[in-house]
Structure 1
Amino acid sequence: MKTDRAALGRALIIANPAAHSGEAGAAAERLQRFLDCSGACAAGSRLVYTERPRHATELARASAGFDTVLALGGDGVVNEVASGLMDLPGQGRPRLGVVPVGSGNDYARTLGIPHGGKLDAGWLLSCTPEPVDVGRIELLDDGGQGGAPRYFVETFSVGLDAAIALGTQELRESTPLTGTALYLASSLSVFGMRYRRYPARVSMDGAEPEARDLLLMAVQLGPTYGSGFRICPEADPADGLFDTCYAAGRIPRAAAVPVFLRAKGGHHTGSRLVTMGRARRVEFWFDGDDYPIQADGELVRSSHVAVEVVPGALTVLRPRAAS
């Protein structure tokens, strides 16, 4: 189904002004002018800026009555907006549009949206609404977690890869690096002094928990994380399944690093050190609540956590060619 120029309806733009080294605020204003001048929004558009962590979730949660919510920024603001939309009733839930101006932009890659770091919104004039899956996060220990993400749209991971993703947030404040270069810089630290295993028990789709001495485990709705690392190259965000990838056991650093680097192009999947799989639900038990765990780049704290696919939960806008 093709979306005509007025089919965005009443649109809410939620923008993280700090994204893309502070340039996202100006990009959001250009987006609003573009939408209003092109007639893409039948009832006009409204622009709001995030002011603190998880604010985008609050703004999206209050978006009932809008037809479309556009998340402008990186994967973090996309996660927050998607989480807020998931708190609304399914019937009448606004569609999600992604306007990427972040450094990673992995969800934009998955949806086939232009993601060069500069504003490119022309595809919104001819786009297709499609249902996609969402991952739901259940914290099963007693810790609670206040503002933690409860949903994800692209990636959930534990171990070294999560430590790398979380480390990029610290580096982003101290270096001008972005994208793959930022992710690789963080990996140097993690594969150096912080290289270790993470003992866990893992259950797939309700099976008996299996003890795994994890280096890393990724649970993916989309193929990539870390600004284009194709950790699960066959992942489809609309097939009702997670794709999983894990490495475990006494793997020397010298063997692990080349496999990790091959994941950039998705060429790691045939390695004997890597196990690929699919599941609808994955449950983890950890030895403590201090393991590196991330969902779409956001920190998760838990010693017992499960993730489950919610099929077709969100309607997203995709470029017509990608669909």
Structure 2
Amino acid sequence: MSRQLGRTIVIANPAARSGKGAHAAEFVRRYFEAHSSATDTFQMQLTHAPGHAQYLAAQAIEADTVIALGGDGLINEVVNGLMQIPTTYRPTLAVIAMGSGNDFARTLGSAINDPKSALTEIMMGTTKQLDLGVLDKGTPEEKYYIETLSFGLDAAIAIDTTNRRAANTHQRGAALFATSGLKIMSKAHHGWAFNASYCDATGNKKEISGREIIFAVQQGVSYGGGFQVTPKADPSDGLLDLCYNCSLPIVPNTLRLFGLARLGKHTRSRHLVFDQLTHLDIYFPEEIPPGQIDGEKIPQQKHHSIDVAPAVLKVIAPRNATDSLKLSAL
């Protein structure tokens, strides 16, 4: 049964996927103009610069639904804008994924780079209540994330893929992530020293330290265009999923780990630890590793805190995703 989206704003990045975002935005505009009963009101807002999507979303206090059309970076901006709106008035988020990685759409079970199918899923979808991750809560640098946060080799690769996309490489998704990995691996195999403490799912405090090349604190399943770093992550369970290396594998084994992670088959590796948590503090006593949040670079600093914000955002998900994801329905 088709839904009614109420007062609807589409925030679209026309430059997404080498300009295909503009064509997708035009398709969506024509759809809503032809199906006026699908919304009470409809606005199409195009972004022009980094940070613009967050600004537009923060102004959407009178909207019922905000549709983010673009890649994971745009979705992250829209989420951070929506979180500036008080809970009572916060619009429901919907996503039309038009990016290179599209990792949040993968976790949600949504169509990727297919605006017609994504729009159908929105109109036929169901509303879910999702958690968010929060980086450096309560500080001027506070930032929410909806899918992925990591420090180390994986973050360096994610940042490199972003830079290469900006340079209009023809590679996309996992292929782009893999070739960036080969480029960076030789420089980063020594790892980065860290000390961390966290509260696990049962409330116990744990302390860990070592040299990390992979340190991911995930809200969703994947990063890098489908690498399932935490394949059991549930974005509505009130927990963040942790994956980090407890020993330093040699370069060939590191490459193999990333290959296995493509299918979520790395979870039995003796080099990796998996856990769930509600809060984490991490400190880098030596060189600060690269960090990424939903695929975008994190400003480098010695200490970060990471928290979960449970059930703070309503999201429209495809109905067929309910079987594969343990998402909390409203």
Query: Structure 1-normalised TM-score?
Result: 0.92
Identity %: 36
Q: Distance in 1 between matches of 2:212 and 2:52?
A: 33
Q: Distance in 2 between matches of 1:53 and 1:241?
A: 29
Structure 2 counterpart of 1:162? 155
How far did residue 59 of structure 1 move?
0.6
Q: Distance in 1 between matches of 2:66 and 2:286?
A: 38
How far did residue 194 of structure 1 move?
3.5
Structure 2 counterpart of 1:222? 220
Residue identity opposite 1:202 in structure 2:
A
1:1-323 maps to which residues of 2 (within 5 A)?
4-5=2-3, 7-39=4-36, 41-116=38-113, 119-120=116-117, 121-138=119-136, 145=141, 150-172=143-165, 173-205=167-199, 207=205, 209-287=207-285, 290-301=288-299, 302-323=301-322
Q: Distance in 1 between matches of 2:22 and 2:290?
A: 31
DSSP-derived class of the 1:269 partner: coil
How far did residue 41 of structure 1 move?
3.4
Q: Distance in 2 between matches of 1:289 and 1:229?
A: 26
Contact 2:7–2:41 (CA<8 Å) still a contact in 1?
yes
How far did residue 21 of structure 1 move?
0.4
Structure 1 counterpart of 2:326? none
Q: Deviations over 1:181-223 (max 9, x none)?
A: 1111111112123433110111111836432211111111111
Contact 1:128–1:320 (CA<8 Å) still a contact in 2?
yes
Structure 1: give runs of 5+ residues left out of the alignment. none
Q: Distance in 2 between matches of 1:41 and 1:136?
A: 33
Q: Distance in 2 between matches of 1:32 and 1:288?
A: 51
How far did residue 35 of structure 1 move?
2.3
Q: Distance in 2 between matches of 1:288 and 1:74?
A: 33
From the superposition, tell whether residues 117 and 178 of structure 1 become closer, same or farther in structure 2 (CA, over 3 Å).
farther
Q: Which runs of 4 or more aligned residues in structure 1 lie more than 3 Å from their structure 2 counterparts after TM superposition?
A: 116-119
Indicate the larger mover: 67-76 or 253-262: 253-262
Residue identity opposite 1:269 in structure 2:
T
How far did residue 38 of structure 1 move?
2.5
DSSP-derived class of the 1:164 partner: helix
Contact 2:193–2:286 (CA<8 Å) still a contact in 1?
no
Contact 1:285–1:305 (CA<8 Å) still a contact in 2?
yes
DSSP-derived class of the 2:254 partner: helix
From the superposition, tell whether residues 116 and 56 of structure 1 become closer, same or farther in structure 2 (CA, over 3 Å).
closer
Q: Deviations over 1:248-283 (max 9, x none)?
A: 433211222111210000110001011111101111
Q: Deviations over 1:45-100 (max 9, x none)?
A: 10111111111111100000000000000000000000110111001200000001
Residue identity opposite 1:198 in structure 2:
W
Residue identity opposite 2:217 in structure 1:
V
DSSP-derived class of the 2:215 partner: strand
Residue identity opposite 2:152 in structure 1:
G
Q: Distance in 2 between matches of 1:218 and 1:35?
A: 39
